[in-house]
Structure 1
Amino acid sequence: MPLRAANQAAADPVEELRSAPDQQDADGESLWAPVAVDPSRPISQTNPPRRAPHHAQTPRATAGEVERRIAEAQLWIAQRLPLLEIRAKAGESWGVSNVKTVNRYLDLARMRMVEELISDRRRHQAEQIFALNDCARRAMDAEQFSAAVGAFRVIAEIGGLLRAPIKPPEAKS
């Protein structure tokens, strides 16, 4: 048993979230067949109860579908949508109404966003500096010089030219 627990802990989060169907066709669609229930036998783990028609079983998401859902979740996070709206969109787009499942997709999307930010930090810094330069230029054109100075200060902080705060910390007595 301890070996199995170690293998489960090292599993890929996407694969764990996916709980993949055993077989997929060439397009990545699942080859899924619903489990038949024998009404003459008593209910057990090998003979689950019949489900009501409104609880129809759906196939598990394929690898491509999971990646699409994660990318969509990253977009919603980047758009700073409220959690209630994200859950509603997940229900519409994915057919997922379970809050825990939606949260798992969101956690994985956030984790990937952080990994991308860390791995591509220089490009991200350059994008921020370019955007702040544009902001400072527009502030100077509008004669809002304090805003322009603030933008240049942030540029210097991002670029590593300014390490210490401009104002010294106030002494606590």
Structure 2
Amino acid sequence: MSRRAPAKPAGSGEPQAPDADQAVLEELRQAPPQQDDDGQPVWPAADPSRPVGKGNPPRGRRSQSHKPRATHMEVETRIAEAQLWIAQRLPLAQIREKAAQNWGITNIKTISRYLALARQRMVEELISDRRRHQAEQIFALNDCARRAMDAGQFNAAVGAFRVIAEIGGLLRAPIKPPEAKS
């Protein structure tokens, strides 16, 4: 059995190294697909008819619902799907339902690992592609401002243009001066 160094928790705020990222992926591939009522992982059950003794460990039999370890592509697809669910701001209970339906995983800890990795990748993508994200937001706000002006909602259009200026770095100070404290 190979021993790995413990990986940093995915939600620690620090970017993980690529080898730590691989360790998390490997851990997700080896996670059990289900859990019991207490949240403990359920592995294929041992055969109770065989006594446990020296040189005679219990041998588990694969259940009918046993799925083989997830491939690299399946893990990447699950992470991308988790990113979509996070972007859609789905409630955690609904995400767990979808994970059980789509992936066959009911283990909350495994689902949480996928979500943490998806969040981490979303942050890394936002940091690395910041200019592209800014351009997308400015384009969307321009469209919003045009539609607001067409509808006669000029306050909304001015607000959209103000946010565009903030994103573009043209507006640094608040428009209204801070109120005096009395």
Normalised TM-score (structure 2)? 0.73
Relative distance call for 1:114 and 1:137 in structure 2 (3 A) is same
> Which structure features the higher share of helix residues?
1
More divergent stretch after superposition (145-154 vs 62-71): 62-71
State the 1:37 CA deviation. Answer: 5.1
Structure 1: 4+ residue segments shifted above 6 A: 43-46
Q: Which residue type is aligned with residue 159 of structure 1?
A: G
Q: Residue 17 in 1 paired to residue 20 in 2?
A: no
TM-score normalised by L of structure 1? 0.77
State the distance in 1 between where 2:53 and 2:102 align.
34
143, 149, 152: which one aligns with 2:158 = 149
| % identity of equivalent residues | 70
Show structure 2 runs of 5+ residues with no match: 8-18, 32-43
Residue segments in structure 1 that go unaligned for 5+ positions in a row: 21-33
Is the CA contact 2:145–2:160 (under 8 Å) kept in the aligned structure 1?
Answer: yes
Q: By how many angstroms is 1:52 displaced?
A: 9.6
Partner of 1:47: 57
Count, aligned residues: 155
Match in the other structure for 1:167: 176
Which residue number in structure 1 is paired with residue 111 of structure 2?
Answer: 102
Cα-Cα RMSD:
3.0
Deviations 1:14-50, CA, capped at 9 Å, x for gaps: 2232239xxxxxxxxxxxxx89859443168972475
Partner of 1:64: 73
Residues 158 and 87 of structure 1, relative CA distance in 2, 3 Å threshold: same
What's the secondary structure of 2:172's corresponding residue? coil
